[in-house]
Structure 1
Amino acid sequence: MVAPDESVVHGSKAPDKAAPKDLPALDKLLRECAALVAEHGHTLVAREARGLLDALRTRAVAGELPRAELAALPQALATRVAARMRPNMRAVLNLSGTVIHTNLGRALLADAALQQVLALTGAPNNLEFDLDTGGRGDRDDLIEDLLCELTGAEAATVVNNNAAAVLLGIAALARGKEAIVSRGELVEIGGAFRMPDVMSAAGATLVEVGTTNRTHPRDYEGAINPRTGLIVKVHTSNYAVQGFTASVDEATLAPIARAGGVPLMTDLGSGALVDLTQWGLPAEPLPQTMLAAGCDVVTFSGDKLLGGPQGGLIVGSKAAVGRIRKFPMKRALRLSKLPFAALEATLRLYLRPERLVQDLPTLRLLTRPQAQIAALAQALLPALEAAVAPRFAVSVVALQSQIGSGSLPVERLPSAGLALAALDGRGRTLEALVTALRRLPRPVIGRVHDDRLLLDLRCLEDPALLTGQLGVLKEALA
């Protein structure tokens, strides 16, 4: 005789387990979920229903499907559909301590930029239409005067990121020729973007001068010859060389380039448009300073210190920028209407510099006082303690934020936050907390250091975005 609780695999009819025949037909399940079908359409809901029933049938055959789950099929199907429709790209809370975080989308857009994007993508616009003449326009015309006013350049153009700006500049000015770069500036940035590879892709022959730690004016002078097409300076924004070093700045290099009859291009990367020292931040080279020093072309990013969308900004002389704009590769690398709209709106904020700290999220976060951040940490402490008790200890700690995205890599910003430590001292327990935070409706991203999870609050301007999820976190950790 078969035991009443024996698995269906062994032929039982256990009352608490469902058999494959107990599963509803697809049509019946869809009729029970008519509201879901009306909202999302038959195709999506039927596909997810088939997947759900197939998974349940497999469990039923193995005798592992509780009958109680059958009553919850409509809710299970709704959950599957919602998960399928949830975007892969989602807003998160950046509590990592890195303000301009490459992996978390870099700079946050200002309200003015968000409003401009919404206004111009929901309706036709004059991206390449001249409203004065009624003829075809050039998208660069919409932004060139503004960039020139802010940087002092004679001309300007924009492409889809700064890597593209560097590639295009070298290709347009030195393709089939030699490009001179200091050995100390042959950088590699994220994504294996290496200057020697960029030179090759642009069709230029790399000529290295100087040494890793010391390069002198005479090194450049000795390298210029009839085959030289360009001198390139690269701002080493993502590392620092200290000790017995020497480099040649743009003001010294510009006369050498002019005497040799070749253009000088400098890549600043980070893209600061204002003197950051006025807010107590470390100094960063400015495009206007490089142009005043005699550079023919300056390239920089739109989504780092500038505080706008991804983009590669190219400013300089009319002759050099004109060659870049006419180069065939330019069309393939041009900026699309969405970031173009956001970039214009962001740049216009710089016309009223007194309001930048209020209007530009990146600058607002970078200049946030440590005392204000520490007060926020103290206010959040009780709620977070209650959510993670009794498995974790929580404390307010002083922290050091960083700017991020290769900007001023050795500089730190005094900050504050919350440190969470597992009371059992196990790394797996801490990892479970990190995972639970990542799985919240709005994922929370911190950093683990010295067996503690650190939540740097510099970038948390709305505490409700965290506290509103603590109930979900408590359930996940239960």
Structure 2
Amino acid sequence: MGVYERFGVAPLINALGTVTVVGGSRMDPRVLEAMAAASGSFVDVPLLLDRAGTTIARLAGAEAACVTSGAAAGLAVATAACLAHGDPERIRQLPDTTGMRDQALVLAAHRMVYDQAVRLAGAELVEVGTSTSTTLEQVDAAITDRTALLFYFAGASGMPGSLPLRDVAALVKPHGIPLVVDAAAELPPVGNLTSFLADGADLVVFSGGKEIGGPQSSGFILGTEPLITECSLTNFPNHSIGRSMKTDKETIVGLVTAVELFVQRDYGAIFARWRRLSESVVAAVNEVPGCTARIGYPTVPGIQPREIPRAYIDQAGLTAPELRDRLLRRKPPVAVGVEGGSVAINPQCLADDELEPLIEALVSELSA
């Protein structure tokens, strides 16, 4: 009996991606070894956090970094920093923002469920424009003496109602308004670790438990030294917004190890492998009467890297949600995505020995 079967839970084949509901990523054995080694001793956690941030910033090519317990925690911590700006009384006062600049501008096209983390710190979200059209003039007109930050969701940057990050940054910088970017799942490419900062962002939040391959309860903020210092003051183990978002010494060490491995990967070979896996799925599904499959990429904003090729599957008489649910009821269960009216097979988390069982499951359900 496996570790999950003890609880009556079956391990699944993950053709969905590095999403939280199926456990994030599969950690490299070297990450697990580092975490196990870290568990054997006590340590000064604030000092460890400081040194971990320094190491991650060096690896990423950024000025400074702050370790968090995930990307959502990173958004809350970054927002709190923009509200309190290191003032001890204001830090303790949050999420009560009385006497502070308390509004976060956000493009209407960038609204999504994860911006609740911004509100958790006490900020009021103020939408600018519409989901299909926004201008820089509208952003400029929305800035008031209550504006504390501008929140930018990188996953929606290609939407019709979005604006280029570089243009937004150039607009808000003269006002002294920090620009916070949610880039939780915007890896790969590795270059995105610094591309948002190069375009003018002040703080950029990444998940450590997605493509980086670290512990699921890990993340980090990259940014300028002054703002990262203010993030650290609102982060655990301080008594602040971030206190309830603490993580442990093992996770901190595991995250740093994962980042070290991540920046060394050969993504040319990795993308080629993902393409081969997707093409194998497409070839097998297209042999099933009444089914069509193709290689494609996401066209709507979400929490998955857009650059990874997917296999998109359609079948006459069976909706995508119905196929998804059938696959989840199999033994072993198979997790897949639904995008529009198609089932999406993301190869990001597939092991080589899972390809054949995945294809067998798909062909079986599609044939039925």
Q: 1:357 to 1:213 in 2, by over 3 A?
A: same
C-alpha RMSD of matched pairs (Å): 4.4
Q: Percent identity?
A: 21
- What is the TM-score with the length of structure 1 in the denominator? 0.56
In 1, are the aligned partners of 2:204 and 2:222 still within 8 Å (CA)? Answer: yes
- Give the structure 2 partner of residue 254 of structure 1: 169
Q: Does 1:211 align with 2:157?
A: no
In 1, are the aligned partners of 2:82 and 2:149 still within 8 Å (CA)? Answer: yes
Q: Does 1:86 align with 2:6?
A: yes
Q: Distance in 2 between matches of 1:255 and 1:166?
A: 22
In 2, are the aligned partners of 1:177 and 1:227 still within 8 Å (CA)? Answer: yes
Secondary structure (helix, strand or coil) at the match of 1:304 reads: coil
Task: Give ranges in structure 2 of 5+ residues lacking alignment.
Answer: 84-96, 235-239
- What is the TM-score with the length of structure 2 in the denominator? 0.70
TM-superposed deviation, 1:180 = 3.8
Q: Does 1:303 align with 2:209?
A: yes
Q: Does 1:232 align with 2:151?
A: yes
Of residues 243, 246, 251, the one that matches 1:339 is 251
Of residues 102, 116, 125, the one that matches 2:41 is 125
Secondary structure (helix, strand or coil) at the match of 2:242 reads: helix
Q: 1:220 to 1:350 in 2, by over 3 A?
A: same
- Give the structure 1 partner of residue 180 of structure 2: 265
TM-superposed deviation, 1:103 = 2.8
In 1, are the aligned partners of 2:197 and 2:203 still within 8 Å (CA)? Answer: yes
Q: 1:439 to 1:290 in 2, by over 3 A?
A: closer
Aligned length: 330
TM-superposed deviation, 1:350 = 3.4
1:137-167 CA distance string (max 9 Å, x none): 5231342122212333222112112111112
Q: Does 1:173 align with 2:85?
A: no
Of residues 259, 273, 292, the one that matches 1:368 is 273
TM-superposed deviation, 1:258 = 2.6
Q: Distance in 1 between matches of 2:112 and 2:258?
A: 28
Q: Which amino acid aligns with 2:41?
A: N
Q: How does 1:422-437 map to 2 (within 5 A)?
A: 434=326
Q: Distance in 2 between matches of 1:82 and 1:151?
A: 37
In 2, are the aligned partners of 1:270 and 1:306 still within 8 Å (CA)? Answer: no
Secondary structure (helix, strand or coil) at the match of 2:149 reads: strand
Q: How does 1:311-330 map to 2 (within 5 A)?
A: 311-327=218-234, 328-330=240-242
Q: Which amino acid aligns with 2:26?
A: L
Task: Give ranges in structure 1 of 5+ residues lacking alignment.
Answer: 1-80, 130-135, 277-285, 359-363, 382-392, 474-478
Q: 1:119 to 1:217 in 2, by over 3 A?
A: same
TM-superposed deviation, 1:401 = 7.1
1:168-222 CA distance string (max 9 Å, x none): 2112212432334234245223xxx4x3x44443222333323332222222333
- Give the structure 2 partner of residue 350 of structure 1: 262
Q: Distance in 1 between matches of 2:290 and 2:69?
A: 43
- Give the structure 2 partner of residue 361 of structure 1: none
Q: Distance in 2 between matches of 1:210 and 1:454?
A: 31
- Give the structure 2 partner of residue 156 of structure 1: 65
In 1, are the aligned partners of 2:109 and 2:130 still within 8 Å (CA)? Answer: no
- Give the structure 1 partner of residue 200 of structure 2: 294
1:79-126 CA distance string (max 9 Å, x none): xx99997134553222x4x333443223222232233233333xx235
Q: 1:172 to 1:374 in 2, by over 3 A?
A: closer
In 2, are the aligned partners of 1:420 and 1:453 still within 8 Å (CA)? Answer: no
Q: How does 1:441-456 map to 2 (within 5 A)?
A: 442-445=332-335
Q: 1:406 to 1:115 in 2, by over 3 A?
A: same
In 1, are the aligned partners of 2:310 and 2:347 still within 8 Å (CA)? Answer: no
Q: How does 1:181-220 map to 2 (within 5 A)?
A: 181-189=105-113, 193=114, 195=115, 197-220=116-139
1:322-350 CA distance string (max 9 Å, x none): 11111212232133234323311211113
TM-superposed deviation, 1:320 = 0.9
- Give the structure 1 partner of residue 90 of structure 2: none
Q: 1:465 to 1:110 in 2, by over 3 A?
A: farther
Q: 1:256 to 1:335 in 2, by over 3 A?
A: same
TM-superposed deviation, 1:246 = 5.2
Q: Distance in 2 between matches of 1:231 and 1:93?
A: 39
Q: Distance in 1 between matches of 2:333 and 2:155?
A: 33
- Give the structure 2 partner of residue 99 of structure 1: 17
Of residues 222, 231, 237, the one that matches 2:141 is 222
Q: Distance in 2 between matches of 1:302 and 1:448?
A: 24
